[in-house]
Copies of this chain bind each other. A is one copy, B any other.
Amino acid sequence: MEETTMDNHPSKTLATFAATLQFDSIPDAVVRRAEDLLLDWFGSALAGKSGRPVQTIASFARQMGPADGQSEILISRGSSTPLFAAMVNAASSHFAEQDDVHNGSVFHPAAVVFPAALAVAQSLGSSGRELLEASVVGYEVGIRVGEFLGRSHYRIFHTTGTAGTVAAAAAVGRLLKLTPAQMLHAFGSAGTQAAGLWEFLRDAADSKQLHTAKAAADGLMAAYLAQEGYTGAQRILEGAQGMGAGMSTDADPARLTDRLGERWALAETSFKFHASCRHTHPAADALLQVVTEHQLRPEQIARVTAHVHQGAIDVLGPVTDPQTVHQAKFSMGTVLGLIAQFQNAGMKEFDEAFNDVGIRAFRDKVGMELDQEIDTAYPARWIGRVTVETVDGQRYEGRVDEPKGDPGNTLSREELEQKALRLADFSKAATAEEMRSAFERLWNIAEVAQVGALLR
């Protein structure tokens, strides 16, 4: 059956799944989780409003794109064509580091899938079911592409930018009702645009917003081109000159088609609880456990060792002296300092205290150490473990097997609403009343005949 195997290569199987998934074949629990993720994304997108990089991308969109259209630009209450709405909404989604993450792929699906899908759904007048269906497609595809690209990819590339481009193409392609063949072409055009390097972290530069903005916009472009017959590589993921070959040394094509239609990767996606890089969360929760249980104040602590996976060292290691709020979110020492000081590392704590003398002093007491057990479990499980030594010679261990926000330790709809309200209040992007009204629409999105504006 060589020929059949050749014919049903992984990119094609995945594209066929993306083009043919029906709303009715998605389990109810997965649909409900998709609604949770959509609402959680909405708060994250609003949270980015005040971000300078977000404002600059919004300004570029105003210079280059039409001043109105069917697609809503959330942070400005303006509108444009889907390309620019997707670009600006995606730029703002990841700014506050409050958007969701899929552990196994180290991929932030919401930041790239929902901006593209919502912009296109608003432009086409799609139903809420179509929006949810397309969003599930985006999650399932993007997460599997991230898993396929593997850990070697993530060492240099920002998976949310790279896998995110294919994810956005898949979601938009579903809304455009691409055939399986067109969807495969869209994957080809998306994968060959996929980009995003971690180098910017070293300088606390603004590239993260560019990565999400471009993943959403480029993926959208790939799908629109495919609709008009534009062709792409048939094996952009697993081919000899494709993404895996060029941007990974441990790419595993089997991950691309892992239990399609049976395993729902969307439901494995975690909500962010702390307002920092996800790599800091397991240790933050473990430290929270220790300081709560032993009633420790920061000044009682002499040293904290965070036992971590290699990815945490790769991403957080370069950030030794954070100069900005954003960079501080990638500083393990700062995050653990905020936890020790406030038992919380939210937007407000970062904004007001990341550079306080006390936090900086605590930062220098924190070290990271590679832990074999944790590294082996990663990225399927993000185990948090810290060793705390006190000034009076005590030694405490903290450990969480599933950080807050993970599927087994998830946020309730009430907690999600509270989080979104806090984010919108922080950024002044919407009033509580506007948020309540949007919540109502979002919880009922599956019944909506035509996806309209969320805020206008």
Binding site for B on A (CB under 8 A): 52-53, 56-57, 59-60, 63-66, 81-84, 155-157, 161, 185, 188-189, 191-207, 210-211, 214, 218, 221, 224-225, 228-236, 239-243, 245-247
Pick from B197, B202, B245: contact of A192, CB under 8 Å: B197
B207 with A156: CB separation less than 8 A: no
Interface SS of chain A? helix
> Do residues A232 and B205 form an inter-chain contact, with CB atoms below 8 A?
yes
Q: Among A192, A224, A240, which residue has the most Cβ atoms of chain B within 10 A?
A: A192
A157 vs B191: C-alpha distance in the bound complex, in angstroms?
Answer: 12
Are B234 and A207 interface neighbours, CB within 8 A? no
Question: CB distance B207 to A233 under 8 Å?
Answer: yes
Q: Are A200 and B233 closer than 8 Å at their CB atoms?
A: yes
**Is A64 a contact partner of B52 (Cβ separation < 8 A)?**
no
Bound complex: CA A330 to CA B198 (Å): 35
CB A124 to nearest CB in B, in angstroms, measures 12
- Let me know if A241 and B201 touch, CB within 8 A: yes
Given the interface contacts A202-B239, A205-B188, A235-B202, does A82 sit within 8 Å of B64 by beta carbon?
Answer: yes
Copies of the protein in its oligomer: 2
CA distance A232 to B205 in the complex (A): 5
Bound together, the chains give a CA A56 to CA B185 distance in angstroms of: 14
The reply to whether A233 and B245 contact each other, CB–CB distance below 8 Å, is no
Q: Is the CB of B200 within 8 A of A232?
A: yes
CB distance from A250 to the nearest CB of B (A): 14
B199 touches A235 (CB 8 A): yes
CB-CB nearest in chain B for A162: B195
Complex Cα distance A204/B185, Å? 12
Interchain nearest-CB distance for A59 vs B (Å): 6
**Chain B residues positioned under 8 Å from A233 (CB to CB):** 197, 199-200, 202-203, 205, 207
**Are B245 and A156 touching (Cβ within 8 A)?**
yes
12 extra interface residue pairs, beta carbon distance < 8 Å, beyond A188-B203, A202-B234: A53-B230, A64-B81, A66-B66, A185-B205, A188-B199, A188-B200, A192-B196, A193-B196, A197-B242, A199-B236, A206-B230, A210-B230
**In the bound complex, how far is the Cα of B75 from the Cα of A454, in angstroms?**
39
In contact, A241 and B199 (Cβ under 8 angstroms): yes
Name A201's closest neighbour in chain B (CB-CB): B241
Residues of B within 8 A of A64 (CB): 65, 81-84, 221, 224
CB closest chain-B residue, reference A238:
B199
